[in-house]
Amino acid sequence: MVDSLRYLQSVGEQVRHAFVGNKTILSFQEYMEGFFEKPRVHARDAAQYIRDCFDFYGTTTANNPGGAMRRFKLFDRPFDQGPGSLQEGEGGAPVCGHEEVQNAIYRILNGFVRAGRINKLILLHGPNGSAKSSIVAAIQRALEDYSRKEEGQLYRFNWIFPSEKLVKGSIGFGENAGKGISGERVETYAHLEGEAVDARIHCELKDHPLHLVPRMERQRMLRETTKPDSIFQLSQAMLEGELCHKCRQIYAALLQSYNGDVLKVLRHVQVERFYISRRYMHGAVTVEPQMAVDADYRQVTHDRSHGALPGALQNLALFEPYGPLVAGNRGVIEFSDLLKRPLEHYKYLLGTVETGVARAPHSVWVAAQWAVLTRMKKPVSERYKGELRKLVDHLTPLEKLQLYDRGEAPARLAGPQGRELKKHVQDLWRESDAYPNYEGRTGASARELKTVISNAAQNPRYKCLTPQAILLELEELVKDKSVYEFLQQEVVDGYHDHEEFVRVVENEHLDVLDEEVRDAMGLVSEKQYRELFERYVQHVLAWTRGERVRNKLTGEMERPDEEMMAQTEAIVMTGGEERREFRRALIANIGAHRIDHPEGEIDYSQIFPDLFRRLRDHFFDERKRILRKNSEKMLRYLGEDRAQLSVKEIAQVESTLGSMKERFRYCDNCAKDALLLLLTKRYTD
């Protein structure tokens, strides 16, 4: 039985250690000690802090049709992954793409740092579903996590006024100020416990503690300790900044009562570490479209706490600011739908509908792929010359999507044609930049997809959110042409054919399911067709050089096996290719790869992914009958006929299901729905 007292004491000790370790409450002297240890950490304004947050999570290189670009890892939201992180529904999803926007924001932040002041708003403008809110949410979430790191420390301060037991005097601050009950010297009031404190006044604007240092001395200190250079520069906010009006009043009144002794004034300062939080509106605030003002002042309530202030302060008319602009100070403020202001109605709804997230194998991918297909534009073939014009003109929407997404040329094209098309990906990507209705502008938006996903999740035919339910909802959506303007576009050579796109996406989903079920069943190991391809390459290389190869069984040197090469080429070659040219091109590609990668073993699956896919599909097609029987056994196991299976069959099924769950995130219900779909669409005679 658990000892509750011991448990609570253990928890209390952990909290206390964390509280002390995080340096949550400090006196002003203790804060200054931390400042002198890491002056650049403490002397940043908001722009420097956000820029450093970008740098803290690092960068990677993203390869897209526009070329290689720097990608900031914070937009992958690594802090929302792993044990103890926020769940995706609460934290949000990573931002896909938009590397140009990320780099533009970083350049603007650098501009603010160089200028020493934040003198502009950053405006994100684009159509619905273009990730504007997701970009800001990722930055705010990164700041939340960064502010809890040692490198991301942020501090504010409060004013502490001890009880009369500690301080006595005609105006509350006399010669005995700073002495305890026993007469011992009290250097600071920052660490007094609750009963010893009569009043605690906090700063709503989260004034920087360094603003308590007189301006001239602060400027000298900052320049000497931080040593500004090309990496770190002091901002005007740190050099010229002043306390807010309320704190300035308190500071001046205390300084006067202590006859100019600033050290006695600083005894009343309690420096407090704070953390950026969207939920509690600390340094991360979203301002909705509204009629109300974004900030205002109100007089401090005269409650018992403030009535306990010294007489010199009770005579002051103290006002406190409030509102989203105040709460967002020293952080990020997002003006949602700024161009729609003022707007009185539905002011909270616009922000709320942006937060839905769904988890299920391939469900979101199916919806997203369909949405991207709706935004594809047919290439303008007249812009290209020679054979390239024909290649571009025959690109289907799906082929164009895959060319953009994975850099893969259509499998139907011969090697030279595919390489020629891939060389001009950037030309296709930039083709419509100058057009008002550029590629990607018109099509299904994220809001429409969220409606589809929400409706699919409630489909009574499925116990889980599945791609099948998504496809059913998409079939219903494309019927409402009067509701959705993008559905009214004219179909041009397969482009804008949104009804057909549903069938295209379903077929793509079936390909993925087919591959995952095959892998989970372990019918053919990848090693088998890798070994076949490596043997084929070995014989082709000998053929091109006019050499012989050693037979592994007999040890004899023999001519290249023409029959084996022909059988392999019958599988991997597309129609219209000549075998001799195919072999020479294959060896040339291997040689080019070796020049670019002189070290390490050659992975043919990376050089020839299309050939490997065809070879693998051929292996699996020969085993379709086995796949169908195994799938039927799995359905019996997941249904009411488990007793009809033998012990060996049950073990086999459980092994397959375990692999599907562990590797591909299926549950029993999702696996059952997927197998039924495959049996209906693919594994039939």
Distance CA 45, CA 41 (A): 10
Q: Which pLDDT value is given to residue 347?
A: 38
Instruction: Give per-residue pLDDT as tens, 543-569.
Output: 988 888 888 777 788 888 888 888 888
* pLDDT level of residue 89 (50, 70, 90 thresholds): very low
Using pLDDT thresholds of 50, 70 and 90, give the confidence band for residue 470.
very high
pLDDT tens string 46-60: 999 999 999 999 999
CA distances from 349 to 140, 325, 341, 355 (A): 20, 20, 14, 11
Span 90-112, pLDDT tens digits: 456 789 889 999 999 999 998 88
Per-residue confidence at 301, pLDDT binned at 50, 70, 90?
low
Element (H, E) at 652: helix 647-664
Is the pLDDT at 170 greater than 50, yes or no?
no
Amino acid at 285: V
Judged by DSSP in three states, 535 sits in helix
- Dist CA 280 CA 108 (whole Å): 27
Whose structure tokens read 């019918």? 523
Render pLDDT for 9-44 as a digit per residue (tens, 0 to 9): 777 777 776 766 677 899 999 999 999 999 999 999
pLDDT given at position 345: 34
Element (H or E) spanning 68, and its range?
strand 67-72
What integer pLDDT is reported at residue 344 of this predicted model?
40
Do 258 and 177 meet the contact criterion of CB atoms below 8 Å apart? yes
Please report, rounded to a whole number, the percentage of residues in the chain having pLDDT higher than 90.
32
Chain-centroid distance of CA 65 in Å reads 21
**pLDDT at position 311 over 50:** yes
Q: How far apart are CA 155 and CA 153, in angstroms?
A: 7
**In contact, 238 and 222? CB cutoff 8 Å:** yes
Q: Measure the CA angle with vertex 300, ends 299 and 305; round to 5°.
A: 160
pLDDT at residue number 411: 78
pLDDT at 182: 37
pLDDT tens digits, 251-277 = 999 998 889 999 999 999 999 999 999
Whether the CB-CB separation of 47 and 112 falls below 8 Å is answered with yes
Average pLDDT (431-450) is: 85
Lowest mean pLDDT among 148-157, 220-229, 284-293: 284-293
Q: Is 298 helix (H, G, I), strand (E, B) or coil?
A: strand
Q: In this predicted structure, what is the pLDDT of residue 185?
A: 43
Q: Does pTM surpass 0.75?
A: no
- Integer Cα distance of 199 and 178 in angstroms: 16
